[in-house]
């Protein structure tokens, strides 16, 4: 089957993993600029310093574990550590070459994030940094020259460090207006150039990795709940502002979606899946559905969580739901109340046990040929908002073969199955899907591990886990395959 003419095929990236130029063009530091590299077994760490000059590092929390960050420390750059975001794969200096490659594949859309601290170095400066604005302006102009629609995330784990130091994260209500001002500034500046916006990448990362998701240093259940609340309100205000500034603009939410299966038919396992789904869909129930769901109020009541809220916030949440619902989905997870040995891992630490029916990559992420159809149907039936898959793909330690090429048939196989699965959702189930942007369309730094060797791209970038390499770009076999997929509107897989 095929996808409609207007379907937005493309690829996705994020500034903190791709852009580099961390101290160029007047940019300030952001949350990730003080996060070290890690590996499949070693966590990434946020480095810090104290007033007395002591320095140290705290492992970034994943999968619900709380971040243990000293109360009297500030996140900071510390000598002797390697910070992968600083150069990343250097879009800052390679954007012309990279956009050309994307255009060659026939991209209709390119997802990137604005590095908030490139626009406002401290997050809330009185005036934006003109050099930062000009950089993305050049990028958007070139995108349009190539017929690519930009899809722009306002905050992809890039909370400006100065805000984190002053407010210690998104649980501080002042963040709402600061974000609204940032959003308004870029909506006005890029009016006519950017139609599609996302507010917070994987907003539910607040729960699984609140340092990344919410810039939270003082991590506990109360702050996570308040952080999510503040982001919801900020996002609703951004939707309102976008519509006022340019009625053509569409603002989406972005959720990390992972279908969960029960490991056994024990009813207790089904309840576990229900609770997992509630915790994931709570974020869409608010941003796409317009109200806090009852199960969440009950949860807060049980846990003694009290929100610092205002009645008019709930009006905003109801009146300014998102225009479309986008999500990431890499595979599925399996949950059980029973003891099993084979543990699994997944995006943002959405762990569980191993699915015996599925293959995994070297990082233990299960590749599930049906996950997109499941995700799309659940979200479509629950909200009836247009959907957009803005992340999907497979991390692999690609090697350059003797012929100088990268034969990534495993990636093609993964994408064939996943695109077929979204085709089924559209053409069998009637889901309204706006587009598909494959994650990490050009190699970039892994968010979870900080590694370079966990590669996703159609284009290889010569750079290793310690920052060595020429940054040369080499199209992989999947580059030519994806070009053919786009040309055939998805019918030639």
User: Which positions lie near ligand BG6, rule CB under 6 A?
Assistant: 14, 17, 201-202, 256, 328, 347-348, 391, 395, 439, 446-448, 454
Q: For residue 188, count other CB atoms closer than 10 A to its CB.
A: 11
Torsion, Cα of 452, 352, 379, 207 (10° steps): -70
Between CA 125 and CA 108 the distance in angstroms is 34
| C-beta closer to ligand BG6: residue 316 or 344 | 344
Q: How far is the CB of 84 from ligand BG6 (least distance, A)?
A: 11
Spatial CA neighbour of 389 closest among 254, 490, 248, 192: 254
| C-beta closer to ligand BG6: residue 269 or 391 | 391
For 274, 363, 376, the CA distances from 355, given in Å and listed in that order, are 18, 14, 21
Q: How far is the CB of 48 from ligand BG6 (least distance, A)?
A: 23
Between CA 117 and CA 325 the distance in angstroms is 26
Between CA 224 and CA 64 the distance in angstroms is 10
Those residues whose C-beta lies under 8 Å from the C-beta of residue 245, and which sit 6 or more positions away, are 184, 187, 188, 191
Three-class SS state of 227: helix
> What value, to the nearest 5°, has the Cα angle with vertex 280 and ends 279 and 281?
95
Q: How far is the CB of 404 from ligand BG6 (least distance, A)?
A: 26
End-to-end alpha carbon distance in the chain: 10
> What value, to the nearest 5°, has the Cα angle with vertex 254 and ends 250 and 258?
145
- The tally of CA atoms less than 13 A away on the side-chain side of residue 184 is 14
| C-beta closer to ligand BG6: residue 202 or 207 | 202
| C-beta closer to ligand BG6: residue 205 or 305 | 205
Q: How far is the CB of 473 from ligand BG6 (least distance, A)?
A: 19
The DSSP letter of residue 157 is S
| C-beta closer to ligand BG6: residue 114 or 305 | 114
For 296, 367, 419, the CA distances from 332, given in Å and listed in that order, are 23, 7, 16
Q: Strands of 51-101 (E only): list them.
A: 55-59, 73-75
| C-beta closer to ligand BG6: residue 63 or 290 | 63
| C-beta closer to ligand BG6: residue 289 or 448 | 448
Q: How far is the CB of 273 from ligand BG6 (least distance, A)?
A: 21
Quick check: 102 and 148 in contact, CB under 8 A?
A: yes
- Catalytic sites, residue numbers: 202, 391
- The β-bridge partners of 48 are 56, 75
Q: How far is the CB of 166 from ligand BG6 (least distance, A)?
A: 25
Spatial CA neighbour of 9 closest among 106, 134, 97, 104: 106
Q: Strands of 206-354 (E only): list them.
A: 250-256, 260-262, 324-328, 333-335, 343-344, 352-353
| C-beta closer to ligand BG6: residue 56 or 349 | 349
Q: For residue 437, count other CB atoms closer than 10 A to its CB.
A: 26
Q: Using CB positions, name the residue nearest to ligand BG6.
A: 448
Q: How far is the CB of 448 from ligand BG6 (least distance, A)?
A: 3
Q: How far is the CB of 444 from ligand BG6 (least distance, A)?
A: 7
């Amino acid at each position: 089957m095929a996808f409609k003419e207007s379907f937005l095929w493309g690829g996705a990236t994020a500034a903190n993993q791709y852009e580099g130029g961390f101290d160029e063009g007047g940019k300030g530091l952001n949350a990730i600029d003080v996060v070290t590299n890690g590996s499949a077994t070693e966590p990434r760490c946020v480095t810090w310093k104290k007033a007395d000059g002591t320095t140290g590092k705290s492992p970034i929390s994943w999968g619900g574990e709380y971040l243990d960050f000293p109360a009297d420390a500030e996140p900071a750059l510390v000598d002797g550590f390697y910070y992968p975001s600083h150069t990343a794969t250097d879009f800052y200096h390679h954007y012309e070459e990279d956009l050309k490659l994307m255009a060659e594949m026939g991209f209709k859309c390119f997802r990137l994030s604005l590095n908030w601290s490139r626009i406002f170095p401290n997050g809330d400066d009185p005036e934006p940094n003109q050099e930062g604005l000009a950089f993305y302006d050049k990028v958007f102009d070139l995108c349009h020259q190539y017929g690519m629609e930009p899809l722009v995330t306002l905050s992809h784990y890039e909370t400006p460090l100065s805000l984190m130091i002053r407010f210690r994260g998104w649980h501080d209500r002042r963040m709402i207006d600061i974000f609204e001002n940032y959003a308004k500034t870029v909506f006005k500046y890029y009016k006519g150039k950017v139609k599609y916006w996302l507010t917070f990448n994987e907003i539910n990362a607040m729960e699984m990795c609140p340092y990344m998701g919410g810039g939270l240093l003082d991590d506990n259940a109360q702050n996570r709940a308040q952080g999510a609340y503040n982001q919801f309100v900020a996002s609703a205000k951004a939707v309102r502002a976008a519509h006022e500034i340019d009625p053509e603009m569409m603002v989406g939410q972005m959720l990390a979606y992972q279908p969960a299966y029960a490991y056994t038919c024990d009813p207790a396992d089904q309840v576990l899946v229900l609770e997992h789904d509630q915790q994931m869909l709570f974020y869409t129930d608010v941003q796409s559905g317009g109200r806090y769901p009852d199960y969440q109020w009950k949860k807060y009541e049980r846990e003694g969580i009290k929100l610092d809220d205002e009645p008019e916030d709930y009006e905003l949440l109801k009146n300014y739901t998102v225009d479309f619902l986008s999500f990431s989905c890499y595979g599925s997870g399996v949950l059980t109340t029973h003891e099993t040995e084979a543990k699994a891992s997944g995006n943002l630490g959405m762990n569980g046990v191993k699915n015996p029916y599925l293959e995994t990559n070297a990082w233990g992420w299960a590749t599930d040929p049906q996950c997109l159809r499941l995700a799309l149907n659940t979200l479509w039936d629950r909200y009836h908002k247009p959907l957009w898959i803005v992340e999907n793909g497979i991390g692999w330690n690609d090697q350059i073969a003797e012929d100088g090429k990268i034969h990534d048939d495993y990636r093609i196989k993964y994408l064939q199955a996943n695109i077929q699965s979204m085709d089924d959702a559209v053409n069998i189930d009637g889901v309204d899907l706006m587009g598909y942007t494959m994650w990490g369309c050009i190699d970039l730094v892994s968010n979870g591990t900080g590694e370079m060797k966990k590669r996703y791209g159609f284009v290889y970038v010569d750079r290793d886990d310690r920052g060595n390499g020429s940054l040369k770009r080499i199209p992989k076999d999947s580059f030519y395959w994806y070009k053919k997929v786009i040309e055939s509107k998805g019918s030639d897989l």
